[in-house]
């Protein structure tokens, strides 16, 4: 088919999860609760960091920035998904779809390397405690955060351009609940082999690279704890590292499965479940695992509400 015979698609339809009205209402209630809890938890952590002097350390500086990123991340997809669950009109404009994909890729890619930066911080705190303050300075923290955003910007720009430079000439039903690369490429009216290879290489660099940079410091942490710490300290550290690694595995593992498969396997309900893991579930778990289980945070919460109560009196 020649380029001139293509009919330009001006809007897409997000199929979502189900056409059964009762099930849509149930899913709306579930996802709305998750969205509110996630949003509230991350916002609270940012406020807590701002007003708790005992949390003004590199670790919580990273966590505060991480929470801000997560707020933007879940707000990119969830509100539109909630509207679609209640509305019979599930359309999204071509440029709206482009914007959603760009924002999602920017934030998800940034998160990959911000997680790596956070594990690097923990590695230096536990494995090099005497040099920690000289290695993890505020300037170093800012550079790591800015570097993560730069990587996210580059990845999002390249992938969004490659995806939406494809011709779309008819089918416009995206068998997904948001504008993601694989289901949109499946609608293209041309061979997408180049895009598939490009996506594969970028995911290898982004997801696998960031995963290794995130996991290896935790492996070194565990090894250091086994060698030098007491049994009680070892159990506590193993528990903390294990919980962190569970969330990291959910985020990176589900993303890898989604993007490292051939085009022929796109569009199944398994895809939607896998996407839920890194777009909805992981952001819900992160504040509780990374922060709210931490003794420093628990102490800061007590002081925060104590001061708040005294202020009201």
Q: Is the pLDDT of residue 43 over 90?
A: yes
pLDDT of residue 264: 55
Predicted confidence (pLDDT) per residue in 10-29, tens digit: 889 998 887 666 788 899 99
Residue 1 lies in a domain: no
pLDDT value at residue 3: 44
Domain membership flag for residue 18? yes
Q: How confident is the model at residue 102 (pLDDT cuts 50, 70, 90)?
A: very high
d(CA 182, CA 55): 41
Please give the pLDDT value at position 2.
43
What tens digit of pLDDT does each residue of 201-224 get? 888 888 888 989 998 998 888 888
CA dist 84 and 110 (Å) reads 27
Q: Residue 287 — pLDDT band, cuts 50, 70, 90?
A: confident
Q: How far apart are CA 73 and CA 283, in angstroms?
A: 8
Spatial separation of the C-alpha atoms in residues 93 and 292, rounded to whole Å: 39
Residue 131 inside a domain? The answer is: yes
The pLDDT of residue 4 is 45
User: Quick one: average pLDDT of 91-107?
Assistant: 94
Is residue 68 one of the residues assigned to a domain?
yes
2 assigned to some structural domain:
no
**Average pLDDT for residues 292-307, to the nearest whole number?**
78
Rounded average pLDDT over 191-205: 88
pLDDT at 41: 92
Does residue 155 form part of some domain?
yes
- How many folded domains does the chain comprise? 1
Burial class (CB in 10 A: 0-12, 13-18, 19+), 167: middle
Apex CA 92: angle with CA 79 and CA 23, to 5°? 55
Arithmetic mean of pLDDT over the chain: 85
Residue 142 domain-assigned (yes or no): yes
Asked if residue 3 is part of any domain, the answer here is no
Measured over all CA atoms, what is the biggest interatomic distance in the chain, rounded to whole angstroms?
Answer: 75
How do residues 115-137 score in pLDDT, each as one tens digit? 999 999 988 988 888 899 999 99
Per the structure, the complete domain to which residue 261 belongs is given by 8-312
Asked whether the beta carbons of 97 and 179 are under 8 A apart, the reply is yes
Q: What is the 3-state secondary structure (H, E, C) of 253-303?
A: HHHHHHHCCCHHHCCCHHHHHHHHHHHHHHHHHHHHHHHHCCHHHHHHHHH
265 pLDDT higher than 60: no
Please report how many Cα atoms fall inside a 13 Å half-sphere around the Cα of residue 202, on the Cβ side. Answer: 22
Tokens of 303: 């002081």
CATH number at residue 108: 1.20.1070.10
The pLDDT of residue 260 is 73
pLDDT digits (tens, 9 = 90+) for 44-89: 999 999 988 888 999 899 999 999 999 999 999 999 999 988 887 7
pLDDT-derived band at 262 (thresholds 50, 70, 90) equals low
Contact 101, 184 (CB under 8 A): yes
182-190: long-range pairs with CB below 8 Å, 24+: 182/258, 182/259, 182/261, 182/263, 182/266, 182/267, 182/271, 183/266, 183/267, 183/271, 184/12, 184/97, 184/101, 185/263, 185/266, 186/263, 186/266, 186/267, 187/9, 187/12, 189/1, 189/6, 190/166
pTM, entire model: 0.89
CA–CA gap between residue 82 and residue 61 (Å, rounded): 31
Q: Is the pLDDT of residue 103 over 80?
A: yes
């Amino acid at each position: 088919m020649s380029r001139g015979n293509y009919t330009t698609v001006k809007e897409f339809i997000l199929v979502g999860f189900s056409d059964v009205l009762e099930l849509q209402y149930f899913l709306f209630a579930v996802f709305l609760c998750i969205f509110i809890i996630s949003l509230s938890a991350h916002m609270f952590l940012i406020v807590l960091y701002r007003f708790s002097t005992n949390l003004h350390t590199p670790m919580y500086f990273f966590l505060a920035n991480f929470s801000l990123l997560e707020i933007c991340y879940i707000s990119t997809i969830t509100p539109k998904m909630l509207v679609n669950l209640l509305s019979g009109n599930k359309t999204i404009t071509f440029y709206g779809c482009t914007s959603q994909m760009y924002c999602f890729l920017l934030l998800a890619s940034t998160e990959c390397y911000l997680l790596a930066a956070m594990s690097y911080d923990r590695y230096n705190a536990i494995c090099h405690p005497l040099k920690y303050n000289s290695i993890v300075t505020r300037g170093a923290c800012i550079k790591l955060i800015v570097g993560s955003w730069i990587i996210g910007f580059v990845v999002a720009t390249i992938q969004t351009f490659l995806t939406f430079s494809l011709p779309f000439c008819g089918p416009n039903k995206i068998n997904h609940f948001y504008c993601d690369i694989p289901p949109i490429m499946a609608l293209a009216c041309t061979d997408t082999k180049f895009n598939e290879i490009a996506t594969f290489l970028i995911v290898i660099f982004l997801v696998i690279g960031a995963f290794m940079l995130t996991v290896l410091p935790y492996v070194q942490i565990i090894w250091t704890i086994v060698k030098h710490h007491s049994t009680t300290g070892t159990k506590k550290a193993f528990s903390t590292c294990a919980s962190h690694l569970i969330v990291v595995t959910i985020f990176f593992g589900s993303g890898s499965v989604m993007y490292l498969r051939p085009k022929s396997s796109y569009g199944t309900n398994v895809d939607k479940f896998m996407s839920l893991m890194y777009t909805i579930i992981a952001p819900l778990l992160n504040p509780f695992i990374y922060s709210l289980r931490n003794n420093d945070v628990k102490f800061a919460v007590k002081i925060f509400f104590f001061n708040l109560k005294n202020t009201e009196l």
